[in-house]
Amino acid sequence: MTASTEVKIFEKPKKVAKRVAKQILKLTQKSSQPRFDIALSGGSTPKKLFKILIEKHKEAIPWERIHFWWGDERCVPPDDNESNFKMAFDILFSKIEIPQENIHRIKGENNPEIEAKRYSEEIADSLNLRGGVPVFDMVLLGLGEDGHTASIFPGQLNLIDDERICAASEHPLTGQKRITLTGKVINNASRIFFLVTGENKALRLSEIMNDDEAAKLLPAYYITPENGKLIWYIDEAASSQIA
Ligand code: 6PG
C-alpha cells in the first residue's frame, strides 16, 4: 500500500456514508477552491451518501461551487431505473438548488461510442489538466463483486491505461452497454474515495488489500493515484477477510 493510500474502517455502512459526506462538506467549503469537480459512482452504495448529504449538510454545502460528473453510466435513458443519473437526481439533485450547468450528465440514451467521445470532450473543455490529463478534485468509486470499478470490468484491463478520457464498455454478464472514465483519468484525480460496504465485497477487497495474485485480474486493483490520495472507506463486513 503506498503512502498516498489510507484505509478507514467503520462499523456500519451509514457511518461510512457520514464520514464521506463530512469530507465533501469540508473540501467544498474551502474558499481557496472556487470550483470543485466530483465524479460520482453509481450502483446502490452511494444512495446512503446522497441521503446524508441532504439530511445533514444540505444548507451548508456550497452547491453552486460543485460540478457533478459521473465516473460511469449505463447506456439507458435518464428516466430508466438503471440510470446512475436518475438515482442521483431522485435522491440528491431534486432536493437542492444547483445551477443546471453544474450537472454534467452522461447521455446514456446516445450511441455509446459517440457519447463517450462527446463526454470526453466536455470533460477536456471543463477541467484543469495535469500531465495533459483532466484532473477531478474527487472521484467516488464502488467495488463490484467481480472486482470491477466504474464500468471497467475484468477482461477490460486495457481501459485502465487507455489513452482516451472515456470509453464505451459492456457488462460481461448482462451485455449492458456502459460508458466509463478510463483508469488514466481516475488515477489522475486529486482524491479517489472508494466506498465499499457489505459482506459480498469482502473477498475481492481482501484480494486487493492483501495484494493477492488473484487481484492482478481485478480492475479495482489498478486504481493507484499518480499524484493524489486514495482513501478506502469500508465497513466491518467488507473488511472481514483482510489479513
Ligand atoms: C455502476 C457503478 C459500479 C458500482 C459497483 C458497486 O454503475 O454500477 O459505478 O462501478 O460502483 O458495481 O455497486 P454497488 O454499490 O451497487 O455495490
pTM of the model: 0.97
Please tell me the predicted confidence (pLDDT) of residue 47: 98
What pLDDT band is residue 33 in, cutting at 50, 70 and 90? Answer: confident
Please tell me the predicted confidence (pLDDT) of residue 80: 98
Please tell me the predicted confidence (pLDDT) of residue 2: 67
Binding pocket residue ranges, ligand 1, CB within 6 Å: 41-45, 72, 84, 142-144, 148-151
Q: Using alpha carbons, select from 64, 67, 69, 153 the residue that is nearest to residue 105.
A: 69
Nearest ligand 1 atom, CA 43: 16
pLDDT in tens, 89-104: 999 999 999 999 999 9
Please tell me the predicted confidence (pLDDT) of residue 1: 57
Please tell me the predicted confidence (pLDDT) of residue 168: 98
CB atoms within 10 A of CB 129: 10
What percentage of the chain has pLDDT greater than the value 90?
Answer: 95
Q: For the chain, what is the mean pLDDT?
A: 97
Residue 178 contacts residue 73 (beta carbons within 8 Å): yes
Which of 20, 41, 234 gets mutated to test ligand 1 (max ligand atoms within 8 A of its CB)?
41
**Rounded CA separation 76/99 (Å):** 24
**Rounded CA separation 85/4 (Å):** 30
CA distances from 127 to 66, 101, 107, 108, 118 (A): 12, 14, 19, 21, 14
What pLDDT band is residue 132 in, cutting at 50, 70 and 90? Answer: very high
Rounded to the nearest angstrom, the distance between the alpha carbon of 32 and the centre of ligand 1 is: 32
Question: Which residue's CA is minimally distant from atom 9 of ligand 1?
Answer: 42
Rounded to the nearest angstrom, the distance between the alpha carbon of 95 and the centre of ligand 1 is: 23
The SS3 call for residue 22 is helix
CB atoms within 10 A of CB 124: 15
